[in-house]
Structure 1
Amino acid sequence: MAVGVYLLIVLSLMQDILPIPGINLIDEILVFIAICYLLSHEINLKNGFKVSYLALSFFLIIFSQIITYLVSPFSNSFALGIIQSLIHIKVFLFIYLSYKVSKFLSTKFIIYITRTCIILVIVGFILNLMLGESWHLITNTAIKYREGVLRPVGIFENTANLGYFFSIMISVIYLTTDTFTKMNYKSYGLLFLVVISSAILMKIITVRKLLLGLIPVLVVFHNNNPLKNKILLSAFFLLACTFTILFLSNIDSYIYTETLENLSKFSSNDHHYIRGLMFYNGVSLFLEYFPFGTGAGTYGTIISTLNTLEVYNHVGLDLGWLVNDTGKYVGIFDNGIGAFLGENGLIGLIVLINFIIIFYKKVLNSVSDLKLYILFFVIICSFIGPAWQDGVYSSIVCIFYIYILAKLRV
């Protein structure tokens, strides 16, 4: 059973490249299995009826969605709202499932599968660079350019997931090396190589998400640093890393000019930068429908396009320019935190924070000194995209989470 679930997670990682009918349903299957695991392991029916705090926090999410549905002024679907509430915590359900099944997997098997996944991703990336647009035609993925540079996707459907994979791969490999665990001055040198590698890949892939993995790495590094004057050393190192990234990526490049320009668009709606629009309108809905929000599956989420478009009309967001050639909506899923705030309001935010805290103590607290990394990475990524709702992203996190657990056994 454990091996089967683990291989399903691997298949979910590869779902964009494998031409298997129905493979896109793997996410739903894994969510269902994860909920079954959670309910069966967190509710004890043998020695009286005992429910763990994690199970209670899960039920609280469902209950809050029922309340939100009842008070929502929009004609949304109750069933679709519940489904969206589960999608919002998909990555956490995946991690919980990984935590449970990893205990029954051999260390050698986990390391072998992880290395195989890494090799496949790197090979796909190299082939994409070599073949250019031909690779996109072979894999039936969108051909996109940024500043005249083709954005590679490798074995994934989009560049974002390729960036996420390399970001967490580089960081996790570093955090599980002997040099890091011993924490000496050599750790700074190796971490500097990690920064350089991330900056170079960011330049090649044209995706800024690669730098996200460095944020929790620096936090974990500083937190576990036993050296004297670690605050001064960390500050100096952070400054050196900043100048290195600026030098490698060219301060006049799009990475900085576009980033600064995009950040300025998060506080208004008089533009067409969709990520900024989704955040701005999400916060507006959060305040207007305080404290319950508009209801799950109504704004900025995949389910919202199947449920009701009333909320988009309410904020004056015309979705006509957000439909691609195949008739699918694009862009409106590009701000996870804005979508969550708009849909769930303050009540939903409090319930989610409660779930994450209990989840951290129950699951991630077992990851020794690396416990902060996965949580930080997951939360940071939610601010810039639909990472929490993405099955491929969730699988990337789980592949390396299981790898961390395996390395801690050695």
Structure 2
Amino acid sequence: MTKNIPQFLIAAPTSGSGKTTVSRGLMALLKARGLNVQPYKCGSDYIDTKFHERACGRPSVNLDLFMASEEHVRKLYARYAVGADACVVEGMMGMFDGYERDRGSSAEVARLLRLPVVLVVDARSAAYSLAPLLQGFLHFRPDIRFAGVIFNRVGSARHFGMLQEVCEDLQVECLGYLPKDGLLEQGSRYLGLDFSEQETEEACRRLLELLEAHIRIDRLLEITSLSLPENRTENERLGNRRIAVARNSESFSFLYTEHLDLLNRYGEVFFFNPEESAPLPDGTDLLYLPGGYPEKHAEALRTADVTLDSIRRYIEGGGKALAECGGMIYLSQGICQDGQPDFLPMAGVLPFSISNRKEDRRLSLGYRRFDYNGQTLYGHEFHYTQYVQRSGEWLLPTVAQVYNARGEKVNTPVFRYKNLLASYTHLYWGEIDLNKLFKNEE
């Protein structure tokens, strides 16, 4: 018998409307009610998913329609929904903001998965003027169903009464509101939400109290109850490798749930912390160095000399390795920070250094695509650090031309050194053959 459970996507007209606060709060509240909540995140974001996992006790899954096909996203959603009592998808940016017009947007994910949308609207300094705004969102795409509206930063009960009138006139369900509250306001972030920040128990408790008091939770669960999609995924074994994955709380922390599950199909996965001085596991066949914030932990990484030497010898000996952004920085000659007289040495595998000095920092951001070894690889780039050349250093020639989401050339290089593939691009591997990345270097 097909199981019916609440399933919905939380979106907003613009970034900063409060959808992250509402999403995390609802996830935690449903979990507190005894529901097994499966979280998802639209787009390539690594950080919101960590908050989701903290709230739900289940890994959050990215749903990205630039980096993956529609069929793959459908399969991902169905596979991770197995065993859940509710599925909550947090949108990204504004609801219709995609990589090209609304392509790849939260709206596109909702359409693809046939999920009802809960629209979080910032009501600060507005009342009936929100009517034309909501009218446009509700009727812009007739193939998208709205479950209702939650208003955020509401000033008073009287203010909320005015907002209810908006919903009555537009004939859309008003699911409640969150009042203005200083504890719920988030401060400045480092590349988005800094997941090392410790939220106070008081703020979390306050959010749950406000949701219970002002959101019609039971009505939300009732009107978003849908049958679970059928899970037809076959997780066949893809190899028998011993795979070493760098992972810790921050310097190597940008890991997709799907990637770890996929690696387990290629073999046996071992995790290690490059900030702790220890050699790679014996018999390593594949080394994965994901992104993170190594520039914030350069001293700890530098002093873990046994790890640095072990990784250097592994790559120089022809070991297969994939390094993305922070992982590539770790393999460089060194990192230079503001206030430091010289570069802190890193693994020294790649013949260039990285600067995180203020005068060199600039934002490199966006989706990326390139062809390599017979496959089209998709990913994204998000960093401030930049390459620098010191005496005797150079950049390796790129082995692929990289393009952005609109098909325009970008100057991001892709490096191949022996059996190492490295770049600033964070790749999504869900639909690629990892064995083909190294097919010319057997």
Q: TM-score, normalised by structure 2?
A: 0.27
Question: Which structure has the highest strand share of the two?
Answer: 2
Larger radius of gyration: 2
Q: TM-score, normalised by structure 1?
A: 0.28
Question: Which structure has the highest helix share of the two?
Answer: 1
